[in-house]
Amino acid sequence: SQQGEEDPQALSIQEGENATMNCSYKTSINNLQWYRQNSGRGLVHLILIRSNEREKHSGRLRVTLDTSKKSSSLLITASRAADTASYFCATDARGGSYIPTFGRGTSLIVHP
């Protein structure tokens, strides 16, 4: 079963615009990670946010975590055509071995 669910399923924007993706999950977590996947290839780790953190930045990426709402968001600022990819959140359930559970992903298309 999918622990994290991303929203929207698909997002199409113009280069230079910001892109926001959301992730909701069901059970308490230790941390939440965002990954990116280009066209059916391997996933690339973007950012990890722990359950006691509320916001993290990495370059043009900003991630927020609201544990009371069991949700996270990924913001990509000033998007580029090269940001076109699928984005997944992965949650690590509190109390278990570290086995991340992935959502179905958001497909982002950035038009040049």
Which residues contact other proteins (rule: CB under 8 A)?
A: 2, 30-31, 33, 35, 40-45, 48, 88, 92, 96-105
End-to-end CA distance of the chain: 36
Radius of gyration of the chain (CA): 13
Nearer to other proteins, 45 or 80 (CB): 45
The full 3-state SS of 49-67, as one line of letters, equals EECCCCEEEECCEEEEEEC
Nearer to other proteins, 15 or 31 (CB): 31
Structure tokens at 38: 């280009």
Nearer to other proteins, 5 or 15 (CB): 5
Structure tokens at 112: 């040049």
For the bound state, the minimum distance from the C-beta of residue 68 to other proteins, rounded and expressed in Å, comes to: 22
For the bound state, the minimum distance from the C-beta of residue 35 to other proteins, rounded and expressed in Å, comes to: 8
